[in-house]
A and B are shown apart, each in its own frame.
Chain A
């Protein structure tokens, strides 16, 4: 019998290991799986490579994971958002490595990784400092840059509703990178505000089919990062 639901966020992330690559859904606070990230902080895995568009804000969620010194390398397109104060501290003292990737290239690298495509050519970053060290090729008279697909040991993402087969639907712009990361994670863990039985989601509207998902945990009232930051909260 297939039932991917697990009882708690702690159980969902229990086997994360030191040195793992972990994709974390979200664009800013929208779609950030805060409760799973906090469970990961409690769990204690270190020396992580984290993939996220940003670097979190305040001292909760991804920023708290960074503050706790668990992330040694960040793959990211925009590490300089408002209230991102933890990443700069570590970056300036050389405690965290940054791989800067254009946002669309980051998305496509994750998509490709999950889709079994090892690399692709893109016009993005041509003639810029971010092209440096990359292979260039002329195709049909236009130049392109070679980029490699990206996979991860784990992906942790946030959905609105999931079923116990792992099918997921999202909430508005909280979708962002999550469906791609679900494909690219060897183990994909979803927190959803509601977990329903198979049949509880209309097959026509499912965004992430369950085959990409390994574990589902119900977090009925997920916190919003901006609310926590405004309240001056920090985790743990």
Chain B
């Protein structure tokens, strides 16, 4: 654990831009709250993604212009959004049928911790005085074809978020496929964390020092985006 900020590394926006490059054309995508929402700003030229929001909209568009929003057109974070031409509204059972039934291609989520076998903890720190709240996270990880996590590599206190074993309550076991952090892109493999790519200006040892489990070095760089 180091409190020292690494030099280099991606900003939140650069992390989102990097992740967006790995989403194939035509994908149906659910974006979690926070950094995941930024991904929608960086759709690569020539590709089209359809955004699902679990409160009942397929074809979610960007935030409305000030003063034009509707309090009954919102996203899962309860912020006002727009609906693109070709959007569809539906009730919650249909929405979670899309999720649990494996119809969505990709979900991008934030994380408190990810373990080397892909366990995700992102809903509770287990603090006894906190009010537990889970929303749709457990349904998303149980059903969406690919789960990508986008997160800072370490907590504000410099603790690694990528760990051998999650100590916070789990959202799901063995559900994460890939992690995009400020320092690297990391794939979950049967052998644990594998670095696919280092952020510009970051070297392997820097990432390893800030990771709570062994990393294996880069394999072949990823080619044309494909769902894992």
Q: Which A positions have Cβ atoms within 8 angstroms of B?
A: 27-31, 77-82, 87-88, 91-92, 98, 100, 102-108, 110-111, 122-130, 170-180, 207, 224-227
Q: How far is the CA of A125 from the CA of B143 in the complex (A)?
A: 11
Q: Which B positions have Cβ atoms within 8 angstroms of A?
A: 53-57, 70-74, 78, 83, 89-93, 95-96, 99-100, 124, 129, 131-139, 142-143, 169-173
Residue of A nearest to B136 (CB): A103
Q: Are B131 and A91 interface neighbours, CB within 8 A?
A: yes
Measured CB to CB, the closest approach of chain B to A173, in angstroms, equals 5
Known contacts A108-B96, A177-B91, A172 near B83 by CB under 8 Å: yes
Q: Are A126 and B99 interface neighbours, CB within 8 A?
A: no
Q: Are B172 and A173 interface neighbours, CB within 8 A?
A: no
Q: Are B170 and A77 interface neighbours, CB within 8 A?
A: no
Q: How far is the CA of A29 from the CA of B77 in the complex (A)?
A: 12
How many pairs of residues, A versus B, come closer than 8 Å at their CB atoms? 144
Measured CB to CB, the closest approach of chain A to B76, in angstroms, equals 8
Known contacts A100-B134, A103-B139, A177 near B92 by CB under 8 Å: yes
| Interchain CB contact (< 8 A) of A100 among B55, B90, B132 | B132
CB neighbours of B134 from chain A (8 A): 77-78, 100, 102-103, 130
8 extra interchain contacts, Cβ-Cβ under 8 A, other than A104-B136, A127-B170, A130-B134?
A28-B78, A79-B133, A80-B131, A104-B100, A172-B72, A173-B74, A174-B72, A179-B91
Measured CB to CB, the closest approach of chain A to B32, in angstroms, equals 13
Measured CB to CB, the closest approach of chain A to B89, in angstroms, equals 6
Residue of A nearest to B139 (CB): A104
Closest 5 CB pairs of A and B: A104-B96, A104-B139, A107-B92, A80-B133, A127-B173
Measured CB to CB, the closest approach of chain A to B118, in angstroms, equals 12
Q: Are A78 and B135 interface neighbours, CB within 8 A?
A: yes
CB neighbours of A125 from chain B (8 A): 138, 142
> B interface, by DSSP: helix, strand, loop or mixed?
loop
CB neighbours of A105 from chain B (8 A): 138-139
| Among B54, B92, B131, B136, residue most surrounded by chain A Cβ atoms (within 10 Å) | B92
Q: How far is the CA of A28 from the CA of B80 in the complex (A)?
A: 11
| Interchain CB contact (< 8 A) of A98 among B70, B100, B132, B143 | B132
Q: Are B92 and A129 interface neighbours, CB within 8 A?
A: no
CB neighbours of B139 from chain A (8 A): 102-105, 124
Q: How far is the CA of A37 from the CA of B134 in the complex (A)?
A: 25
Q: Are B72 and A92 interface neighbours, CB within 8 A?
A: no
CB neighbours of B135 from chain A (8 A): 77-78, 102-103
Q: Are A180 and B93 interface neighbours, CB within 8 A?
A: yes
Q: Are A224 and B71 interface neighbours, CB within 8 A?
A: yes
| Interchain CB contact (< 8 A) of B129 among A92, A178, A207 | A92
Q: How far is the CA of A65 from the CA of B27 in the complex (A)?
A: 42
* Sample of 19 A–B contacts (CB below 8 Å): A29-B71, A30-B74, A78-B133, A87-B131, A88-B131, A100-B133, A102-B134, A103-B136, A103-B139, A104-B96, A111-B93, A124-B138, A129-B169, A129-B170, A172-B89, A175-B56, A175-B90, A179-B93, A207-B91
